[in-house]
Amino acid sequence: MFNELDTNCTIFDGSSFTQGPNTQTKHMFGSMVTFFDGNPMILGGYKGFGQDEVAVEKLGESSWTSMPPMPTPLRLFSAVAVNLGPGHQAIWVFGGITGIDDVSQSSSFYFQNNVWTPGPDMLRPRHGHRTIKYSINEKPVLLHIGGDMVKNDTLPVESFDIHTTSSHDLNLQLAFYTDFPEVFYVPPNICS
């Protein structure tokens, strides 16, 4: 089953697929991908045989480069790039699975400091969820949507305030779960 762990990279530019440079680490089975400054980043994932990954890689023009590793080996977590202005550009990571345990932890990587920092716990453990940026009353928040607490519960959407790092549940639920990462990036010139 785990012979599919690989380092390959396929790039879709809006009209065709091309083979990209191989990653340095095998990121599979729930590794998360996010974009920052137009460059994809791969974080964590599953190495096989019950082991999770901490490696972080960023794609440059022709190769993947290593970044400081995540503080905890994780798979099936969410990651989102947040840009709140100069010096406040970060990747936030939420929840996931480490070993056999669902976790509610969060951490952030601020590019200016080049270091990971522990964040507040989510309201409950989740894995297989997504975190998206959204504005509520013109205030940027992150929404944790879907996931599974091992019991296959439908979880409420959780709102995370980026500035105060506080969370609360919204009166919304979505039955949503995913095993594999997906990234949707639309370049500014896609329609030109």
Q: Domains in the chain, ordered, with CATH?
A: 2-128 (2.120.10.80)
Q: What is the mean pLDDT of residues 111-119?
A: 89
Distance CA 62, CA 97 (A): 31
* Whether the Cβ atoms of residue 89 and residue 98 lie closer than 8 Å to each other: no
Sequence-distant (≥ 6) Cβ neighbours of residue 26 within 8 angstroms: 5, 6, 7, 45, 47, 48, 53
**pLDDT tens digit string along 127-182?**
888 888 877 777 778 888 777 755 556 788 888 988 888 999 988 776 655 554 45
Band (pLDDT 50/70/90 cuts) for residue 184 is very low
Average pLDDT over every residue of 82-103:
83
Q: Residue 41 in contact with residue 35, Cβ under 8 Å?
A: yes
**Separation CA 107–CA 94 (nearest Å):** 7
Strand partners, 41: 34, 58
d(CA 119, CA 131): 15
Within 13 Å of residue 134, how many CA atoms lie on the same side as its CB?
A: 13
Average pLDDT, the chain: 77
Tokens 């809006």, residue located = 14
Residue pair 62/113 in contact by the 8 Å Cβ criterion = no
Pick the closest to residue 126 from 56, 61, 177, 189 (CA basis): 177
Among 10-14, 146-150, 182-186, the minimum mean pLDDT is found in 182-186
